[in-house]
Amino acid sequence: MIDAETPENAPEEEAETAPTEAEAFLADLAARDAEIADLKDRLLRTAAEMENTRRRLERDKADTAAYATTGFARDLLAVADNLRRALEALPTAGVEGVQAGIEATERELIAVFGRHGITRVEAIGQPLDPNRHQAMLEVPTADAAPGTIVSELQGGWTIKDRLLRPALVSVAKAAE
């Protein structure tokens, strides 16, 4: 009679289902490889995030340096406006020396603005651009197309590529 419990007679299924030491080692190795891949991926993502943060900080630093004088420039615009008003208020005769002095001062102020990236916004004859102009009134006229700026009440200015102050303008509308 054959004994069912002898190792020679053991069913083949049990031998196949029990993991061998080599299979257990390979499974452990595969788990460690997956963990290494995950850690490597996290390291690369962290390095990329740090590089993006560094670039963003450099860009913010450059912007801060470029636009640090914005408040000061806005204050000086009042000086430029007053010089222009003084020139416009002068009588036409008898004050040529005063007029020449004010014009020279205004030219120098505009030159200083230019050296620091502050430029005047073009307005008269341009179509109204709400990003650069602020319409204060509409003027009925047949001389200009509707939506075109016909006069400037106060000059607009930019510093580098940012609007410092919009131009206050009168805009043409269709004559009745």
Phi, psi of 90 (to 5 degrees): -65, 140
In the chain, the amino acid numbered 25 is F
Question: Using H for helix, E for strand and C for coil, what is the string for 56-105?
Answer: HHHHHHHHHHHCCCHHHHHHHHHHHHHHHHHHHHCCCCCCHHHHHHHHHH
56-106: per-residue pLDDT in tens?
A: 999 999 888 888 888 888 888 988 898 888 888 888 787 888 888 899 999
* Boundaries of every domain in the chain: 12-66, 70-174
CA dist 25 to 12, 28, 36, 37, 158, Å? 22, 5, 16, 18, 69
CA gap 32, 28 in Å, rounded: 6
Token pair 């009440």: residue: 153
Question: What is the fold of 70-174?
Answer: Nucleotide Exchange Factor Grpe; Chain A, domain 2 (2.30.22)
pTM over 0.75: no
119-170: per-residue pLDDT in tens?
A: 999 999 999 999 999 999 999 998 899 999 999 999 999 998 899 999 999 9
